[in-house]
Amino acid sequence: MWGRIGGKQGKQEVVRTVYFGGGTPSLLPAFHIEAILRTLREEFAFIDRPEITLECNPGTAETVKFSDYLGMGINRLSMGLQSANDKELEMLGRIHTYKDFCIAYEQARNAGFQNINVDVMSGLPEQTGDDYHRTLSAVIKAAPEHISSYSLIVEEGTVFGKMFSEGRLKLPDEETDRKLYQKTGEYLRAAGYERYEISNYAKQGYESKHNSSYWERIPYLGLGLGASSCYGEIRFCNTPDMQEYLKKNFAEESRRPETMPKEELIVTLSAFYSEVEVLTKQAQMEEFMFLGLRMKKGIDKVLFEKEFGQSYEAVYGTVTEKLEAEGLLNVTENHVTLTERGIDVSNYALAKFLL
Amino acid sequence: MADINQNHIRNFCIVAHIDHGKSTLADRIIEKTGLLTSREMQEQILDNMDLERERGITIKAQAVRTVYTARNGEEYIFNLIDTPGHVDFNYEVSRSLAACDGAILIVDAAQGVEAQTLANVYLALDHDLDVVPVINKIDLPSADPDRVVDEIEDVIGIEAHDAPRISAKTGLNVEEVLEAIVERIPAPDGDPKAPLSALIFDSLYDSYKGVIVFCRIKDGTVKPGDRIRMMATGAVEQVVEVGYFGAGQFIPCEELSAGMVGYVTASIKNVRDTMVGDTITLDDRPCKEPLPGYKKVNPMVYCGMYPADGAKYPDLRDALEKLQLNDASLTYEPETSIALGFGFRCGFLGLLHLEIIQERLEREYNLDLVTTAPGVVYKIHKTDGEVIELTNPANMPDPSVIDFMEEPIVSAEIMVTSEFIGPIMELCQERRGKYLSMDYIEATRALLKYELPLNEIIYDFFDALKSRSRGYASFDYEFKGYEPSNLVKLDILINKETVDALSFIIHSDTAYERGRKMCEKLKGEIPRHLFEIPIQAAIGSKIIARETVKAMRKDVLAKCYGGDITRKRKLLEKQKEGKKRMRQIGNVEIPQKAFMSVLKLDEDK
């Protein structure tokens, strides 16, 4: 796929963003990160000043030289603070303390990083409104350019999931959780952050280009264990098994001819990736909607028609009308967006766009 | 085969309390009589429906014919007629017994005499059968055959001293049973030259042969070509084939004569023409009068059955039609519910019968069903003198035109060890039981007699009985009659709209409690909507209970990046799929399982 997307020979696609994420890439010695970036630049065409983000665990700060990162072209950091309360951090199983974060953050600023995201979490077990307010205030004081705020989702098969099913996890009730979520918006807006997606806030001009491309369905190539990619109508994913991953000869895949019939392509890809999936037109329409509506700017009806050759009204007119009547959508001539209430119950609203 | 000496035929059945080893002994008898190779042996030959095997009970009476060479060197024909082991099928049991000349009574060497043991033995004695007791499971560590022998003699009053002591499971002493059958069960009598009279004890629909009638020839002879008449239904047909029952197969023969058990086919299209208990005779040379004991069986329990997917209505109708071919006691007629759409009001002999039909519809016909709460048949006496039989609560007339109502009552016998008498009496009290008597049948066990309203025992009485006695109580009942009762119709309103499929009839004393529980249960089953939903229980216009499903506040997936999209899609699809299984009542979506969950209100106790 590498070759097909634009490895050396083709270069038909241009890299706009790079994101080192999924785990703790800041644990990787800087020269490895540099080597990866160098290889990417050799293989792909890049735009001028691409957004290159590195996820950084505040607990690994002492081993990290932020100036080195800047030197190799990384221009955005994403720091997983989660909470300014050490007890909450411990409960979340984080290795860092709030103080670790402050030190790391300051080091990053001093090194010259001018685009930093901080992750925070609401809806933690036993968290009160005041607890969360303190975290938010601390973050606002640090004044990063971008803030992601997630509410804790307890999933089956996790430690929290087990605790929850055993009744040992005291989560804030729905009402409190929702208030926390709303407060987040108010505090952050007052501090100059705009909510541009369900969980993401940014100072003007600092919206994450990388993450936005997922919601705008721009092709992406995932490298490394368990990483997902999507290219046009094909979505595929690397194996999560390290041994299996090491056995694959991806260079072999890239040498295959660039054009081949779809069926053959699937077979070829299946040998290298797990979960190869061809999105039908219907699935693409659905994703256009449920990804697009996550963004504050919503979806563009004209773009929908351009992309799918069918009018928006013909496909989604009825659903849109119903959800608008329920107060979940704002509809203008060319755009559809979720209302505040629509965001609160977005799963309910977005499920309606499945055809 | 035609000239088998009547003296060498033994027609018998096995009666027992559930789990005392009836099917296992039947297997051993078939095995020891050597008709089958071991390869043909299935675990339990008589129970040939999967469902029966899983439930460990025999649903439809069947018969098998085997050949036994006795110690005296002579060959005997054994016709073993299997009987259903549940009170729902009591009438069918009685007809099977009427086809026999004797019965083997199995009693578990550890558990001793139980309620069904008694009920079945009395049934057998009522039919003048010679009862041969057998003590089974003597290999169990807790077996106490001497005590059980005493119990049989004391409680039932039949000689049990030389009863074979066996283990049907291991095969130990099963030969003793075979010899006892030869020696102690009388040979049939009857005159092969007399006009034909044959008792129908079961029938089966086969798409090639039509209805296969299982019968016992009391007098006369029947052969292919004869024109036979069913005396109760009046159906007349020409016999195509007669034969006997090999293990799991039909083996044709030239004729069946007095004393024999076998089958008759005559291109009969409908099992309704061959009702269990009816008498077959020859059309041109009929017997004087039909054999005694025939009655038309009426359904005791009704419920609404609806396809989960409304488009499957014709499939449900076809499936019911097919099941009815084999089950004359199943009735159904179309009905419409505002909540559930088009479906059928179905009548059953009892709750087990209902469950069996429901499972067969779901498994064999792949139907996803929504079933409403089962109810009994109430008699409504209107002020104008008219009497209505009410099978669907939704059709209950306005209380102002009702003079009084009656409900069906059963006579129940419960056998229980003395330490649980208290809890069991309490249970019967809660279920509006009328205490009749208590007799100690031995130092530590008593027989309780109660009259109970049928509608109090159709849901979960049996389960409650088991749990409150730690399994030590056994139970049997028979229909007694109708009695006046203070009954009301309880309605459930969801978002101010009555949901017809949730209405039911209940005694006014328990209506409040039941209504409250139903509201609580429904609150847990109905998902949050964008708006608040009141759930109310009402009698007429009076609200007696209320719960509220709060409005949905938050339902959001915080993260959705590259690797999350597939997961997000699955989550939304699940949400959408869930909606499909919902019923729309007004603007509220109710999951189908909510309709069923209210049947299980007492589970949380």
Same domain membership, residue A325 and residue A235:
no
Give the DSSP letter string of B409-424: EEEEEEEEEGGGHHHH
Residue in B closest to A119 by C-alpha: B559
Q: How far apart are the first and last CA of chain B?
A: 60
Give pLDDT, residue A255: 63
DSSP conformational letter for B36 = S
Scanning B18-155, the segments in alpha helix (DSSP H) are 22-32, 50-55, 90-98, 115-126, 145-151
By CB atoms closer than 10 A (0-12, 13-18, 19+), residue A332 is exposed
By CB atoms closer than 10 A (0-12, 13-18, 19+), residue B580 is exposed
Same domain membership, residue A96 and residue A179:
yes
Higher pLDDT, A262 or A240: A240
B-chain residues within 8 Å CB-CB of A287? 565, 569
Cα angle A96-A98-A100, degrees, rounded to a multiple of 5? 55
Query: Using 50, 70 and 90 to split pLDDT, how confident is the model at A2?
Result: low
Q: Does B580 touch chain A (CB under 8 A)?
A: no
Same domain membership, residue A16 and residue A114:
yes
Query: Using 50, 70 and 90 to split pLDDT, how confident is the model at A11?
Result: low
> What confidence tens digit (pLDDT) does each residue in B57-111 have?
343 447 888 888 889 988 888 999 987 766 677 788 888 889 999 999 999 999 8
Same domain membership, residue A201 and residue A227:
no
Q: Is A324 helix (H, G, I), strand (E, B) or coil?
A: helix
Q: Is residue A2 part of a domain?
A: no
Same domain membership, residue A208 and residue A78:
yes
Same domain membership, residue A260 and residue A168:
no
Tokens of B522: 């429904």
Distance from CA of A215 to the nearest CA of B (A): 8
- Adjacent-strand bridge partners of B222: B256
Same domain membership, residue A255 and residue A136:
no
Name the one residue in this structure whose structure tokens are 């004729």: B255
Interval A158-169 mean pLDDT? 77
Query: Can you tell me the ipTM of this complex?
Result: 0.85
Which one of A177, A194, A214 terminates a domain? A214
Q: Is residue A4 part of a domain?
A: no
Q: Is residue A3 part of a domain?
A: no
Query: Is the CB of B562 less than 8 angstroms away from the CB of A230?
Result: yes
Q: Is residue A13 part of a domain?
A: yes
Q: How many CA atoms lie within 13 A of B266 on its CB side?
A: 25
- Which domain, by its residues, includes A239? 222-278
Tokens of B499: 């949901």
> What confidence tens digit (pLDDT) does each residue in A109-147 have?
999 999 999 999 888 888 888 888 899 999 999 999 999
| Residue ranges of chain B with per-residue pLDDT less than 50 | 1-3, 36-61, 604-605
Same domain membership, residue A175 and residue A31:
yes
Interval A332-351 mean pLDDT? 92
B-chain residues within 8 Å CB-CB of A275? 566
Q: How far is CA A188 from CA A139, A201, B317, in A?
A: 10, 8, 61
For residues B595 and B502, what is the distance between their CA atoms, to the nearest angstrom? 7
For residues B425 and B418, what is the distance between their CA atoms, to the nearest angstrom? 11
Distance from CA of A227 to the nearest CA of B (A): 7
DSSP conformational letter for B167 = B
Same domain membership, residue A304 and residue A227:
no
Taking a C-beta distance cutoff of 8 angstroms, is the pair B417, B444 a contact? yes
Query: Is the CB of B563 less than 8 angstroms away from the CB of A226?
Result: yes
For residues B455 and B300, what is the distance between their CA atoms, to the nearest angstrom? 10
Q: Which long-range contacts (CB under 8 A, 24 or more apart) does A108-114 make?
A: A108/A56, A108/A66, A108/A77, A108/A79, A110/A66, A111/A65, A111/A66, A111/A67, A111/A69, A111/A70, A112/A66, A112/A67, A112/A70, A113/A66, A113/A69, A113/A70, A113/A75, A113/A76, A113/A77, A114/A75, A114/A145
CATH of residue A304's domain is: 1.10.10.10
For residues B305 and B313, what is the distance between their CA atoms, to the nearest angstrom? 10
> How many domains would you assign to chain A?
3
Same domain membership, residue A329 and residue A229:
no
DSSP conformational letter for B155 = I
Q: What is the interface size between A and B, counted as CB pairs within 8 Å?
A: 93
For residues B63 and B46, what is the distance between their CA atoms, to the nearest angstrom? 8
Give the DSSP letter string of B366-405: ---EEEPPPEE-EEEEETTS-EEEE--GGGPPPGGGEEEE
Q: Is residue A243 part of a domain?
A: yes
> What confidence tens digit (pLDDT) does each residue in B302-317 have?
999 999 888 999 999 9
Taking the CA atoms of residue B182, residue B184, residue B185 and residue B191 in that order, the dihedral angle to the nearest 10 degrees is 90
Taking a C-beta distance cutoff of 8 angstroms, is the pair B381, B361 a contact? no
Give pLDDT, residue B37: 36
Rg of chain A (C-alpha set): 22
- pLDDT beyond 90 at A93: no
> What confidence tens digit (pLDDT) does each residue in B498-555 have?
998 899 899 999 899 889 999 999 998 898 888 999 999 999 889 999 999 988 877 7
The contact set of A with B (CB < 8 A) is: 22, 150-151, 153, 174-175, 177-178, 181, 198-199, 211, 214-215, 220, 222, 226-230, 235, 237, 275, 277, 283, 286-287, 290-291, 294, 326, 328, 343-348, 350-352, 354
Query: Is the CB of A287 less than 8 angstroms away from the CB of B553?
Result: no
B-chain residues within 8 Å CB-CB of A354? 572-573, 576
Taking a C-beta distance cutoff of 8 angstroms, is the pair B212, B265 a contact? yes
Same domain membership, residue A265 and residue A249:
yes
A-chain residues within 8 Å CB-CB of B563? 22, 222, 226-228, 237
Taking a C-beta distance cutoff of 8 angstroms, is the pair A355, A285 a contact? yes
Taking a C-beta distance cutoff of 8 angstroms, is the pair B348, B375 a contact? no
Strand pairing of A76-82 and A45-56? parallel
Same domain membership, residue A74 and residue A87:
yes
Q: Is residue A16 part of a domain?
A: yes
Instruction: Answer positive or negative: Cα dihedral of A23, A24, A29, A34.
Output: positive
Residue in B closest to A238 by C-alpha: B563
Give pLDDT, residue B50: 46
Give pLDDT, residue B600: 67
Tokens of A328: 């979940």
- pLDDT beyond 90 at A250: no
- pLDDT beyond 50 at A58: yes
Instruction: Answer positive or negative: Cα dihedral of B217, B218, B224, B225.
Output: negative
Residue in A closest to B528 by C-alpha: A348
Q: How far is CA B120 from the centre of its chain?
A: 15
> What share of chain B has pLDDT > 90, as a percent?
44
Scanning B198-333, the segments in alpha helix (DSSP H) are 313-326
- Tallying the residues shown for chain A, one arrives at 355
Taking a C-beta distance cutoff of 8 angstroms, is the pair B130, B186 a contact? yes
Give pLDDT, residue B60: 45
Other beta carbons less than 10 A from residue B464's beta carbon: 19
Q: Is residue A34 part of a domain?
A: yes
Q: Is residue A239 part of a domain?
A: yes
Q: In terms of Cα–Cα distance, which of B207, B201, B198 is closest to B255?
A: B198
Which one of A214, A237, A259 terminates a domain? A214
For residues A14 and B259, what is the distance between their CA atoms, to the nearest angstrom? 94
The region that residue B85 occupies, defined by phi over 0 for left and psi between -120 and 50 for alpha, beta otherwise, is: alpha
**Phi, psi angle pair for A84, to nearest 5°:** -95, 10
> What confidence tens digit (pLDDT) does each residue in B405-454 have?
999 999 998 988 888 999 999 999 999 999 999 998 777 888 999 999 99
Taking a C-beta distance cutoff of 8 angstroms, is the pair A128, A100 a contact? no
CATH of residue A15's domain is: 3.30.750.200
Which one of A214, A244, A265 terminates a domain? A214
Give pLDDT, residue A24: 78
